[in-house]
Amino acid sequence: MYAIKRKNNPPMNKLISKKIKKLELTLIKMDKVLIAFSAGVDSTFLLKLAVDLLGKNALAVTACSVTYPKKELEQAKTIAKNLGARLKIIHTSELKTPKFLQNCPKRCYYCKKELFKRLTQIAEKEKIKYILDGSNLDDRLDFRPGNIAKQEFKVRSPLAESGFTKKEIRNLSKVFGLNTWNKPSLACLASRVPYGKRISPRVLRRIEKGEQYLCNLGFDQVRLRDYGNLARIEVEKSKIKQLIHPRLRYKVIDRLKNLGYNYVTVDLDGYRTGSMNLSKIY
């Protein structure tokens, strides 16, 4: 019988306790799992429970690519080490896929297909039957073509299957002592580029540098939407006033113009997930 390594078993309401029990039973029945580990809130929470229950039978795999900020890879290494998890790092090649570079609305499908293909190969080699990702119940509300690839490769999402919302995962992460509990949401850097505009390593690196600069100024949840010569910045509504204050505004303008943008704008609607999906091309 697997032993759950949890300090003091914190009190929870019946609904949350029921969801956790369902998740734990699901993982125990799987016995050996491979987790697509991004070091985000959801996949960290899932990995935590999987390691507690399955020990070395839980393998985390993190994909390294120009489509994700370099700092995320270092965080993945640190988190996996702190959790005592086995971690394997792979380099994915979505930028070699013409349809991904063309940036059609199904772009995410081609990226996930490349990822899950690689994960399937690793799972077969490790004799692991189940490949998992950290999707939660709220993810159903967004436009996610990558879910088609999940179905094709039979990838499971136990957090969603157990009924966990993002808010619940954050709250439980805090209870379990995971420092990712308040980590800002992250998405592939390619999601900052409007559909139909070709993706290139140069564009992705420029976005990464711009967002990192804004993070260094104190904006945790930030998106830099790239329209070629124009940059559209999204930060939380409560921080828009801080961003446009002369003390920071001119610094941001100078930095982004040095990165190649001729025009720098601030989205008055503030940060929200999937804002680029408003311009889907069908």
* pLDDT on residue 2: 43
Pair (28, 114) in one structural domain: yes
Read out DSSP for 10-60? ----HHHHHHHHHHHHHHHHH-SEEEE--SSHHHHHHHHHHHHHHGGGEEE
- Packing angle of the helix pair 166-175, 14-30 (nearest 10 deg): 90
Mean pLDDT value of segment 190-199: 95
- Average pLDDT score, the chain: 92
Do the bridges between strand 222-226 and strand 230-235 make them parallel or antiparallel, or are there none, so unpaired?
A: antiparallel
Report which of 16, 46, 7, 19 is spatially closest to residue 176, judged by C-alpha positions: 7
On whether the CB atoms of residues 101 and 66 are closer than 8 A, the answer is: no
User: 140 or 95: whose pLDDT is higher?
Assistant: 95
Backbone angles phi, psi at 133, to 5 degrees: -130, 175
Pair (214, 163) in one structural domain: no
pLDDT at 147 exceeding the cut of 70:
yes
**Domain assignment present for 4:** no
Pair (104, 73) in one structural domain: yes
Q: What is the pLDDT of residues 166-187, one digit of tens each?
A: 999 999 999 999 999 999 988 8
User: 279 or 185: whose pLDDT is higher?
Assistant: 185
Report which of 209, 172, 168, 205 is spatially closest to residue 190, judged by C-alpha positions: 205
Pair (79, 146) in one structural domain: yes
Pair (247, 127) in one structural domain: no
Mean pLDDT value of segment 99-127: 95
**Domain assignment present for 212:** yes
**Domain assignment present for 35:** yes
Pair (114, 41) in one structural domain: yes
pLDDT at 274 exceeding the cut of 80:
no
**Domain assignment present for 7:** no
pLDDT at 54 exceeding the cut of 50:
yes
Pair (209, 253) in one structural domain: yes
Q: Which of 5-9, 71-75, 238-242 has the weakest average pLDDT? A: 5-9
Pair (270, 203) in one structural domain: yes
**Domain assignment present for 28:** yes
Choose one of 175, 202, 229: the last residue of a domain. 175
Pair (49, 102) in one structural domain: yes
pLDDT band at 3 (very low <50, low <70, confident <90, very high): very low
Mean pLDDT value of segment 32-55: 98
Can you give the CATH number for the domain in which 219 is found? 3.30.70
* pLDDT on residue 144: 81
Choose one of 128, 148, 175: the last residue of a domain. 175
Count of domains observed in the chain: 2
* pLDDT on residue 272: 86
Pair (97, 142) in one structural domain: yes
Domain limits at 204? 189-279
Pair (18, 145) in one structural domain: yes
Pair (199, 146) in one structural domain: no
pLDDT at 270 exceeding the cut of 50:
yes
Choose one of 153, 175, 197: the last residue of a domain. 175
Return d(Cα 47, Cα 37) in angstroms, integer: 8
